[in-house]
Structure 1
Amino acid sequence: MTLKTLTCAVVLTMAPLSALAMGCSSRGHEQTQSCAPGTQWDAGSQSCVQVVNS
């Protein structure tokens, strides 16, 4: 009974750690791009472009 309880306690303690392991991964995240005033980010050209008001 004690071994079973100890095993269960260890498993329940370690289970959340596997979920937190991916929390520090930087893959799949994009950095926010800042553009100067009067320009905006264009995803197609991957650069800041002048805003044209018509």
Structure 2
Amino acid sequence: MTFKTLLTAAVLLIGPVLPVYAACSGHSSQAMTCAEGSVYDPETGTCTVVSG
């Protein structure tokens, strides 16, 4: 096989994998929002009503 053939084969094999890897890396954490009058409780993972 020639160099051009090997290079083309490598690009065709690796090319589809790169966008998938790029899409999966660098996720940011999403903020939890609760209804008015309640606050997020990280211990239970739920919103709790604020009294007072």
TM-score between both structures, scaled by the size of structure 1: 0.48
Higher percent of residues as helix: 1
